[in-house]
Amino acid sequence: MKRIGMLTSGGDCQALNAAMRGVVKTLVHNEEEVEIYGFLDGYRGLIYGDYRMLTGKDFSGILTKGGTILGTSRTPFKTIKDPDENGLNKVEAMKHNYYKLNLDCLVILGGNGTHKTANLLREEGLNVVTLPKTIDNDLYGTDMTFGFQSAVDIATNCIDCIHTTAASHSRVFIVEVMGHKVGWLTLNAGMASGADIILIPEIPYDIKEIVAAVEKRKKNSHFTIIAVAEGAISKEDAKLSKKEYAKKLKDSPYPSVSYELADKISKLTGQEVRVTVPGHTQRGGSPCPYDRVFASRLGSEAANLILKGEYGFMVGYKDREIVKVPLEEVAGKLKCVSPDARIVKEAKMLGICFGDGK
């Protein structure tokens, strides 16, 4: 008999349900008797003992369903050791609920912040197995996270739609893509949709280079598509300290980097510029087939680890293999796009401008 606690934490994404289904189906199929405790709204449910007993039936029919049947919330790691508003020690409360329910293990699905807390719980002696979710694909220790390919599809479709209207009106269009501090999503959606300029946080841009690229396109095509990561940053801003940059953003009259760019490009080129922000649509709806398969495989492997009693790992994907990665290697690190990566070089060879003049 295995008693499993399960939770989804942080921003949601496609295929969270597919991954949980993969875990439970594999456990049930392998004839272990299982009790599943689903904690609601992420770590909040574990802290306050808010859970639902689940059976195999709850995981039936959810392979294609977006969101998470358990609900989620953000419980920032930096305040996890601080008492809550009623003085409750959150870490001790999570441990208390784990032991009270006599759990064999926790299955935790999440991104960067989630993994820091998962690793803390491991250090505190709890059995933990994690699964890598995020549309940002910024989790260290895995080449791919589930949710990412679905988000690439949505962002690509958005830029595809923008292409036709940009061409009709001879306009410059900026599409702002999610991705938090990294550029994986923008790079992939931008290349998939034939963007002319791709701006990502890892490669700070020079506005002069962008203007030159727009002017060059004006001679032949009259329209330009710019895929901008929400975390894109100019060369000057990249020189500021974290604190100075945060202040600059706070005081900025623009809602995001795209609007600042739009203003500058229209003033410097005289061309009409429009901004489109697909925002949270990139995290919504059904997982794409790739993510359904990928999340099911990861979930199945997580169940395998549980059956073998191997804990303290994230199930990830490295060099085309499903692998187990020690949590201490994952927690607290970010997987960024290297400016020297082959894919970046190839994109540049295709003529895509990254705003760095290289």
Q: Please report, as ranges, the residues that interact with ligand F6P according to CB under 6 A.
A: 11, 111, 134-136, 178-180, 230, 283
Query: For ligand F6P, which is the closer residue by CB, 230 or 301?
Result: 230
Task: Specify whether the CB–CB gap between 43 and 76 falls below 8 A.
Answer: no
Half-sphere exposure of 188 toward its Cβ, with a 13 Å CA cutoff?
18
- CB atoms under 10 Å from CB of 35, counted, come to 16
* Adjacent-strand bridge partners of 317: 322
Please identify, using beta-carbon distances, which residue of 260 and 301 lies nearer to ligand F6P.
260
Least spacing, CB of residue 94 vs ligand F6P, in Å: 22
Active-site residue identified among 12, 41, 82, 136: 136
Give the whole-angstrom CA distance, residue 91 versus residue 227. Answer: 41
CA 245 to chain CA centroid, nearest Å: 23
Nearer to ligand F6P, 239 or 280 (CB): 280
Minimum distance of ligand F6P from residue 134's CB (angstroms):
5
CB of 43 to ligand F6P, least distance (A): 15
The total of other beta-carbon atoms located within 10 Å of residue 358's CB is 11
- Buried b / exposed e along 155-186 (16+ C-beta atoms within 10 A): bbebbeebbeebeeeebbbbbbbbbbebbbbb
Q: Give the DSSP H or E segment for 177.
A: strand 172-177
Sheet with 51-54, edge to edge strand ranges: 51-54, 34-39, 2-8, 105-110, 128-132, 313-318, 321-326
Q: Which is nearer to ligand F6P, 282 or 304 (CB)?
A: 282
List the structure tokens of 257.
């980097």
Closest approach, Cβ 280 to ligand F6P, in A, equals 6
Residue number, 170 or 252, with CB nearest to ligand F6P: 252
Q: DSSP assignment, residue 281?
A: G
Task: Tell me whether residue 237 is one of the annotated catalytic residues.
Answer: no
Supply the minimum distance, in Å, between the C-beta of residue 186 and ligand F6P. Answer: 10
Nearest residue to ligand F6P, scored by beta-carbon proximity: 178
**330, 115 contact by CB (below 8 A):** yes
Q: Which residues are catalytic?
A: 136
